[in-house]
Structure 1
Amino acid sequence: MPAHHAQGTILHERYRIDRVIGQGGYGFIYLAEDLRLSGRYCAVKEVSYDPSLPPELLKESREQFQREATVLARLDHPNLPKVSDYFSIEERDYLVMDYVPGDDLRTLVSKAAQTGEYLEEEEVLDWARQIGDALEYLHNQEPPIVHRDIKPSNLKLTPNGRVKLVDFGLVKLLAPGEVTITILQGQGTAIYTPLEQYGGDSLHTDRRADIYAFGATLYHLLTNQPPVNVRDRFLDPHSLPNPRTINPAISTRVADAILWAMALHPDDRPADVSQFIKALTGETTTSLRNGYSNGSPHRHAKIGTLEQRLIAIAASLGFLTLLLTLLRNL
């Protein structure tokens, strides 16, 4: 990865770098002062490209960045940072968005764990409603937008109590009849990543991938510990503890809804974010599907051997390469 820009560097004749505030496989995120709008600070996300990419693939990737940046710039939702600009400098592309002050939810859950306490369920449910509203907005765009990297560190709580989903690093646009995947590709964060996304095969991800990550995030927030990663769950479908066994203060309703969202197979999860939020908040009397009440996943439990379970799930998702990806890490 190229070195980051030094403090004071001016990008695009407008954005003066203050400091690095984030880093990932794509590049750096900077806090920058907007020299055209006095007193405004923004987050500038840098996208660097693999220099070994074939020229035609590099050209395609950069064109895709432009298309997706245009889509993101049209978004307007109170729980999403506003994308205000994008530009290119030599071999790097940049996305400019609102800087969101406040602690991320990973910091808040870590503070609670250090004191031996848990975050209150009602407070977490208030955050969940806000996150769900943002995700529903993204999923209802045309084409739909799937975030693909929901996790506590990508959710910030502002001083006025608003939660914002701050990172668009792995966004995927679901264009009808074609697969359009952002150049900011990746597998997401393994702890919160669903089975179909684990091998980096974005072909099979849709809005239900966000529902899994959303459920995994709530699991972490309410138990002070991340859930069992999907690789281990793939090998042992019963390895994920019911969150109530960790924090008995969690209501049965919320625990069941979280486990429903975290079903290994996408078809076993809520069909959309609205359905998940209704299950979380008790706004629906619909029973949870497929045996996920009390945290007992049954969809594949009757298949006899470990090898049969692996093949059944991978084959039903349509990509046996996932099986090889998981097994080579054993």
Structure 2
Amino acid sequence: MNSLIGQILNNRYQIQSLLGRQVGRRTFLATDLTTQTLVVLKLLLFGPDFIWDDLKLFEREADTLKSLDYPSIPKYLDAFELETELGSGFGLVQSYIEARSLQDWIDTGRNFSEAELKAIATQVLDVLIYLHRQQPPVIHRDIKPSNILLDDSRSGHSPGQIYVVDFGSVQTLHHSGTLTIVGTYGYMPPEQFGGRTEPASDLYSLGATVIYLLTRTHPADLPIRNGRIQFKASSQVSASFEAWLKCLIQPDCERRFTSTQLALTALNDEHFIAPTYLPLAAKPADSKVELTKTNDQIQITIPPVGWRRKLEVIYTNIGLTLFCCLPLLLGLWHPLQGKRKKTIEKLCYFARPA
């Protein structure tokens, strides 16, 4: 992809530098030679790593950005087909935002106070409220530090202006039938692993993002108990803010806030107390199922049924069969047969013509 630096695509966009890469996609900083402004150019090329789901998500991102108009979201500018020395593909042009990602800020050693974390969460929630109120609702599905930009207009308790970018994983409830699983491990809610997303799924990702900014530890590296991320924040933030975070990262989406607006209201409540729930059922002591977690996947191993268990099942079925057939073997069906014969004779008697 470095060979594209300096090239002019679609007779208009001159590529300046590589901003990021994903499987099947590359994002460049480019100059619009018509307006002499910087733009973000995303390319999807039909290369060896291309899969059709990439094209589906690419087209969905373009269609979604066309329909959105919000100051904290990049604006759709252009889309086109292209031919390059690396192959054919598609280009998507968005407005360029002069800001750094939260991930970049953390990497440079910046710390955030509780007031700044609340301000960041408030601005992200404002964007999510706008997205979730669309018809059909738009779910981002990949809220994380690298997809949230923050400019350098820091002042007082305000950390600066927030922008939500990268709609390459976006989904609308109209497309909820898809089985495409996207997102980033550690920030994805449990239901997203099964290909199902709700507006509350974005809330979980926001909670995991704020926890990362607070602890400076990737959520995937934090301990899990009863399916929920465990973090120590009592000495750093207020009890109400910690309770708010714990409500966001409930593993069961029905136990999170029922709407993004309610999450915003609770964030501004200094006396917020999270509702209490019974703990999720723990793994049975005799369970042989093994759960292995790595940085990018979860592996569930279900062992095969052993021969002893198979014999138990066979003997149980034989026992049930003998029990059910025991009346027949003892001849208890004869009285029933006699009663049925008498009943038939009575019916025949009343049915005779007078």
**How does 1:12-27 map onto structure 2 within 5 Å?**
12-27=10-25
User: Do the aligned residues in 1 keep the contact of 2:23 with 2:49 (CA within 8 Å)?
Assistant: no
Name the residue aligned to 2:315. Answer: none
- Shift in Å at residue 238 of structure 1? 6.6
**1:243 and 2:232 aligned:** yes
Match of 1:31 in 2: 29
Of the candidates 103, 108, 116, which is equivalent to residue 106 of structure 1?
103
Shift of 1:221: 1.0
Unaligned segments of structure 2, at least 5 residues: 154-159, 292-296, 303-354
In the alignment, is residue 191 of structure 1 matched against residue 180 of structure 2?
no
Shift of 1:80: 0.9
Residue 165 (structure 1) aligns with: 164
Cα distance, 1:26 vs. partner? 3.2
CA deviation after TM superposition for structure 1 residue 280, in Å: 2.1
Give the alignment's TM-score, normalised by structure 1: 0.76
- The answer as to whether partners of 2:289 and 2:301 remain within 8 angstroms in 1 is no
Deviation at 1:328, TM superposition (A): 4.6
Q: Confirm or deny: 8 A CA contact 1:146 1:206 kept in the other structure.
A: yes
Any conservation in 1 of the 2:58–2:168 contact (CA below 8 Å)?
Answer: no
**Structure 1, gaps ≥5 residues long:** 292-297, 312-323
> Which deviations, in whole Å up to 9, do the C-alpha atoms of 1:3-28 show, x marking residues without a partner?
45521111111111001011112311
Could you say which residue in structure 2 is the equivalent of 1:262? Answer: 249
| 2:299 aligned residue | 326
Residue-by-residue CA offset, 1:287-320 (whole Å, 9 max, x unaligned): 42343xxxxxx44146744859999xxxxxxxxx
**Correspondence 1:64-79 to 2 at 5 A:** 65-66=58-59, 68-79=61-72
| Pair 1:144–1:278, CA change in 2 (3 A) | same
Q: What displacement does 1:85 show?
A: 1.4
User: Percent identity, aligned pairs only?
Assistant: 28
> Do the aligned partners of 2:211 and 2:231 also contact (CA within 8 Å) in 1?
no
Q: Counterpart of 1:295? A: none
Choose between structure 1 and 2 for higher RCO, CA contacts under 8 A separated by at least 6 residues: 1
Match status 1:47 vs 2:44? yes
Q: Is the 8 A contact 1:109 1:119 kept in 2?
A: no
Give the corresponding residue for 1:300: 280
8 Å contact 2:189–2:205 — kept in the other structure?
A: yes
Q: Distance in 2 between matches of 1:102 and 1:302?
A: 44
What's the offset of the Cα at 1:131? Answer: 0.6
Q: CA 1:103/1:138 → structure 2, altered by over 3 Å: closer, same or farther?
A: same
Matched with 1:319 is none
Q: Which moved more, 1:86-95 or 1:27-36?
A: 86-95
Kept in 1, the 8 Å contact 2:228–2:249? The answer is no
Note the C-alpha offset of 1:241. 2.5
Contact preservation (8 Å) 1:5, 1:17: no
Give the structure-2-normalised TM-score. Answer: 0.71
